[in-house]
Chain A
Amino acid sequence: MDFRNSKNTDTITGPRSEDVLPHTASAAVKVVIVGGFGVGKTTMVGSVSEIRPLTTEETMTEAGIGVDDNYGSETKTATTVAMDFGRISISDELVLYLFGTPGQERFWFLWNGLFEGALGAVVLIDTRRLEVSFDVIGRLEERGVPFVIAVNDFPDAPHHPVETLRRALDLGPGVPIMACDARLRESSRDVLMTLMRYLHSLTVAAARV
């Protein structure tokens, strides 16, 4: 955290020349890719990003239990939370950023800034550990963040029909559920496309009301 002592700022390198955005870039949008440990978040960000995925960090304190009545002796541990992200230039003016963020409850404070304003979210699911996604889905519903479900195809993962998954996840009929391979650019791109089409259908439906 101590910038002056820890770094020589002259050695900081910025984006490679091919990663530079044009001067005309005027606004960005963001999409969040969320899921449990090892579900493929970083892989998906990397497979569609035009830049090598980068990492942004935040340092947090974790307050000990019972700090309220125990001023002097409260223990705080610093925790660093990292988020990978990538970028897709949509046009000369518009840039899409993708953030891969952990789904565990203890990281939810991150969402305050991150999810507010995100166009939508991709919930990555590994059917070997479906329950990891339950709280994330609940959270997105509470916040009114539209999302799609992408089931990452791990070779030994149980395969369930879409409607079985929909019931287990307690999702409405409109929420898209699709299989993907996060390692493949086209497959990850298709997931983002599905999210955008879904968002589009929501605006069309809302306009009819």
Chain B
Amino acid sequence: MTPPQGPAHGPSNGELPSRRDAPARDAPDPDAPPQRERRSPENPERLYILTGEDSERAPLDLVTLIVAQGEASPMAQPEHSAVLRLCGTPLSVAELSAYLALPFSVVTVVLTELLATGLVQARAPIVRSALPDRSLLEAVMHGLQKL
């Protein structure tokens, strides 16, 4: 099922058509893969997070690690106690969301409250920067090798 390489198909030299030279549609080759066209940039994003628009929420990533710093008081709200119980050891916000079966945005509201009272600590992720850290990548490769 490899696309034919001979001169019988496609433009001139037997190459498959590409976006950069001849348009693919003029010389359809039944075995050729479809050709990607560059997208137009103005596609609207139509979905909105239900609990959106609150500038006061703590900047939490899906992979920010949360660690409890204390115990819940007996009067604590149940979701606060649940988070503190789960975060005796570090746990990502994504894992909290999964175990609590709550949307990510709701978990960040709960965590913002807990962070304000110092009951949890947030360990920020390492994010990609313009020039990623080479030693970080080497550490990841080393870790993957052990898998």
Using a CB–CB cutoff of 8 Å, the interface residues on chain A facing chain B are 1, 3-4, 7, 9, 12-15, 20-23, 25-30, 48, 54-63, 78-81, 85, 87-91, 94-97, 99, 105-109, 113-114, 116-120, 127, 130-131, 133-135, 137-139, 142, 145, 158-161, 164-165, 167-170, 185, 189, 192-193, 196-197, 199-200, 202-204, 206-207
- Judging by beta carbons under 8 Å apart, are A158 and B91 in contact? no
A-B pairs, 6 with minimum CB distance: A90-B143, A117-B127, A54-B98, A28-B63, A138-B39, A9-B78
Given contacts A94-B136, A160-B3, 20 further A-B contacts (CB under 8 A): A1-B103, A12-B101, A23-B89, A27-B65, A28-B63, A30-B61, A57-B101, A58-B49, A61-B47, A87-B95, A90-B142, A94-B143, A97-B94, A116-B127, A117-B128, A127-B33, A164-B2, A168-B34, A200-B137, A202-B132
Q: Which residue of A114, A134, A167, A200 is within 8 Å of B16 (Cβ)?
A: A167
- Judging by beta carbons under 8 Å apart, are A62 and B137 in contact? no
The A interface is mostly helix, strand or loop, or mixed, namely mixed
Within 8 A of A (CB), among B112-147: 123-128, 131-134, 136-145, 147
- Minimum Cβ distance to chain A for residue B132 (Å): 5
- Judging by beta carbons under 8 Å apart, are B143 and A197 in contact? no
Judge whether B75 is part of the interface by a CB distance below 8 angstroms.
no
Judge whether B54 is part of the interface by a CB distance below 8 angstroms.
no
27 contacts between A and B (CB under 8 A): A1-B50, A3-B102, A12-B100, A29-B136, A54-B94, A56-B98, A56-B104, A57-B101, A89-B143, A94-B139, A95-B92, A96-B143, A116-B127, A117-B128, A119-B128, A127-B33, A139-B39, A158-B31, A158-B33, A160-B33, A164-B2, A167-B15, A168-B33, A196-B140, A200-B138, A203-B133, A203-B134
